[in-house]
Chains A and B, each alone.
Chain A
């Protein structure tokens, strides 16, 4: 069932599309580019103190004792608190699944009796400045009774492994088999071709440039805790903070200033912001916590470490017949709120067939807990990995069957919509085949196939790789409820309010952390009412000012939040028409919105200023059935399976035999996110996403030693790529609009990240073809490539 499209106001022809589809300059840029943005760390309050955390130095152990006596004597230290001192309620995320499928894990705000990863917060130290706070940390005396650490998925699942949580047998938090087509084994037995991919993907950090942070203080007059924090989900932080601190929810106000990225790491509730708030309550002084980069790299929320063992069956013509997948995700020490440790395995299980017509499907998805920092969703959530696996399967099958790598995809992509897949998901229309064809043509037109042949003749290693995928976006309440989440994100609310100057204030429950909502959501509202963009101002990120919302993640903001904005603006437009009709004493059907006002059939116009003047200042002129004031609120939700963006990426690489370096020579992206409200913003999302995807394929990995000690705790070792390593990207837009929301837009936030690893990996393997070696694990390091090129296959990671 699709959401009924309701347009209370006929869209006036002379305003429609004035701004939508145009790359209007970003509203945020003047302040952000001239250093006048206001981030959490820019907040300074009178009497403000600075917090840092005593963190576990062992990966797994009982907390024998935490002695902060000496800490409190360090010059500049004002206070130090343990879990016992603060007595806070734990953070627990739930799935509505039986205990055989899901084991919840309570995450204490500060470790109470057990530590489960290096970096776990054990105590909070509050001092007059950040320097003294760190001096205080050094004076803490924490004694541990160490336990054997579990540092990998293999160790976690091994018989007799130590338990990270006593309640989780075999360290398994999630074990779900969502699909098992009857007769699938026979399909595999009878198939002409069966290929297998075993792939491991490195643990990554979403790495917002702005680390996490908070400034909390108690406001006596409002009787409220004010928690300034950089979060993607302000209302969910408010809920958790009020429960942990045992305050009424109205007594917590979460305020989000400018944000320097989040990428999912900030769409979960962290422990440190709650502890900082608790300290502020105790001390009745403002407390600031800014996560430093070392903690951000080692003790924040991580993502992406997964192990796939997947087989695919094909007929002789390259049609896929079946898919059989086993997915294990290493979720670290705790379930994150509100998503739980199910986030990665459930995403992979539900959506792995992707853009392909897969007739038979079996999948088991598991989340294991280990003694590593916990995980959160990260841009793309499992899709970068399963798309990589799917695209490897197709390229491998193409090789076995002697087919062209693009042709085998062409034979399998979904071309008729709506299409209901083996995974019970109904796909709305997309341009899977068109994007594939166009992307291949762009690569061919630039002569890369000839260049590849010429390079091969010279003994050089040049490869071309593709990835073709879709990205489900616009998850409404229905879709998240199917995951059995107990906090079900989905709907969003917008309120619009016009003042006597005819300017429009818009609120949205979404939360921009760099995506230019102030521009794009304003474009939507301005178009609906025929306003100039400068007359529209968006507000987000203040739980006292915003009705409610689920923030920004899963590419939901323009699809869902933008639809709510448009509905609210349309409601206000309807009221403006009614007021105008009343003043003209005519039928409302005789009036319509025009640029900056309401127009009557005879051409006369009442401007918004004139109408607002009546609505607020001379309300006695209004008929009794029209309330004074000019505001409207609307909610939007999606009641079907959501809307699918899609894209095809192509990458050309050259591998250098002397060093193993993977040089990206060309990157082409053909994407379709439906209506692009602001194409420049969409392109920015693509480029940034692709950079993060390349990072996962070739550079970044959070590493640990055998004792669970993180070993990549600075940018020297955690190799986030820079502008030098990321190529320019040719982006081509296709547009297949979403048919059931108010904007026609599909989500554009994650596609770049999803498509890049697969395309890069396929390109590397294409280049490696003369060696007969294939690489399926990421990140692919130069050393691995060097070994492969120099035919030292005995040293390689296992590969088919």
Chain B
């Protein structure tokens, strides 16, 4: 469990990082907190020829709200920073982010792992991928050809793949809309495990009534997914139980050693219901 030989490069700024990535080509990988990549390298499942270390780019570390109320989180912000929210940036509108952090691994992982690393890794059960999708976040990526914004819904392509180019760096995640009635929940055999199934909802609540909302799931497909069938139930004023049932019926999850497709579908129903009730109670 020692990695294969690799070259190590430390970036001094974002432009330097993208330049390095362009120079080194496909054989290079960005390393930030290293919480997924290092484990894969130790198993020699990942064998990048070069690592570009961006951990020193302090300009990518931090959270703030803009004049319009949107939340900006720098790619190098750790899960623990979000969890502890030292400057009180999240408030009630984004409490879901703070509370969802407890599902990510364990404290030592959260103190090193970053939001940008998690999203770029694009694991189908990653909490940040799910949160970004359900809250309709936008990702800011910078590369040799400049900066572009990609909606979360357009970002994830499948197992550990996204639309990011090899020479692009994810620099910021923007949550444009407050989400006072959102929640994430999941189930795994042990606290801190990758979720067997995870569910997140963001409800549109007016005058105490649900007018619609978004439902997203992890662990049921090659990437995190929205579930239009369940969202339709919310939009037409159906019950949370009906929404959960619709989500369960809509997905075709995989069967593997961790759980059968059937079991995962049952978990979807349980977890969507839980998430809806939790979101509503905020």
Interface residues of chain A, those whose CB is within 8 Å of chain B, are: 130-131, 133-135, 138, 292-294, 658-661, 699, 703, 711, 714, 716-717, 719, 721-722, 724-725, 781-783, 786-787, 790
Contact = CB atoms under 8 A, between A and B. Distances in A.
A783 B259 contact: yes
Contacts of A783: 259-260, 263
B5 A135 contact: yes
Contacts of B271: 658
Nearest to A658: B270
Contacts of B258: 717
Given A134-B4, A658-B273, 4 more contacts: A131-B2, A658-B269, A711-B257, A781-B189
Nearest to A662: B189
Given A659-B267, A783-B260, A786-B266, A292 B187 contact: no
A714 B269 CA distance: 30
A722 B2 contact: no
B2 A699 contact: no
Given A658-B270, A659-B270, A717-B257, A130 B2 contact: yes
Contacts of A782: 187, 189
B190 A722 contact: yes
B1 interface: yes
Contacts of A130: 2
Contact of A131 (B3, B190, B192): B3
Nearest to B270: A658
B191 A722 contact: yes
Contacts of B269: 658
B57 to A, nearest CB: 28
Nearest to B258: A717
A724 B263 contact: no
22 contacts: A130-B2, A133-B2, A134-B44, A138-B4, A292-B2, A293-B1, A294-B1, A658-B271, A659-B267, A660-B263, A699-B189, A703-B257, A711-B257, A719-B190, A722-B192, A724-B190, A724-B191, A725-B190, A725-B191, A782-B187, A782-B189, A787-B263
- The secondary-structure label for the interface of chain B is loop
B40 to A, nearest CB: 11
B43 interface: yes
A588 B2 CA distance: 66
B193 interface: yes
A782 B2 CA distance: 34
A134 B2 contact: yes
B128 interface: no
B190 A699 contact: yes
B194 interface: yes
Nearest to B1: A292
B211 to A, nearest CB: 26
B257 A790 contact: no
A724 B107 CA distance: 13
Report, nearest first, the 10 A-B pairs whose CB atoms are least far apart.
Answer: A658-B270, A724-B191, A292-B1, A131-B2, A783-B263, A134-B2, A659-B187, A130-B2, A719-B189, A783-B259
A135 B270 contact: no
Interface residues of B, number: 27
Contact of B193 (A131, A659, A719): A719
A152 B259 CA distance: 22
A81 B98 CA distance: 54
Interface string B163-201: 000000000000000000000000101111110000000
A660 B190 CA distance: 13
Interface string B1-19: 1111100000000000000
Contacts of A659: 187, 267, 270
A661 B185 CA distance: 15
Contact of B190 (A711, A721, A787): A721
Q: Is the interface of A mostly helix, strand, loop or mixed?
A: loop
Interface string B189-232: 11111100000000000000000000000000000000000000
A131 B257 CA distance: 31
A787 B260 CA distance: 11
Contacts of A781: 189
A135 B191 contact: no
B275 to A, nearest CB: 12
A696 B270 CA distance: 27
Contact of B194 (A699, A716, A722): A716
A705 to B, nearest CB: 9
A133 B1 CA distance: 11
Interface string B239-273: 00000000000000000011110010011011101
Contacts of A658: 266-267, 269-271, 273-274
Contacts of B193: 716, 719
A292 B3 CA distance: 13
Contacts of A717: 257-258
Interface string B134-150: 00000000000000000
A782 B273 CA distance: 19
A711 B189 CA distance: 17
A783 B271 CA distance: 15
B5 A131 contact: yes
A725 B192 CA distance: 11
B191 A661 contact: no
A786 B190 contact: no
A787 B193 CA distance: 22
Nearest to B267: A659
Contacts of A790: 266
Contacts of B1: 134, 292-294
B37 to A, nearest CB: 15
Contacts of B190: 699, 719, 721-722, 724-725
Contacts of A724: 190-192
Nearest to A723: B191
B192 A661 contact: no
A794 to B, nearest CB: 12
B271 to A, nearest CB: 8
Contacts of B267: 658-659
Contacts of B106: 722
A661 B5 CA distance: 43
A135 B4 contact: yes
Contacts of A292: 1-2
Nearest to B264: A783
B158 to A, nearest CB: 20
B108 to A, nearest CB: 12
Contacts of B2: 130-131, 133-134, 292
Given A130-B2, A131-B2, A294-B43, A661 B263 contact: no
Nearest to B259: A783
Given A294-B43, A786-B263, A661 B187 contact: yes
A783 B265 CA distance: 11
Contacts of A725: 190-191
Contacts of B44: 134, 138
B77 to A, nearest CB: 25
A659 B274 CA distance: 11
A98 B158 CA distance: 60
Contacts of A660: 263
Contacts of A716: 193-194
B43 A714 contact: yes
A790 B44 CA distance: 42
A711 B258 CA distance: 11
Contacts of A714: 43
A786 B266 CA distance: 9
A703 B269 CA distance: 29
Contacts of A661: 187
A692 to B, nearest CB: 15
A11 B157 CA distance: 78
A672 B278 CA distance: 46
B41 to A, nearest CB: 11
A703 B256 CA distance: 13
Interface in B44-81: 44
Nearest to A698: B189
A717 B1 CA distance: 16
Contacts of A703: 257
B210 to A, nearest CB: 21
A724 B191 CA distance: 6
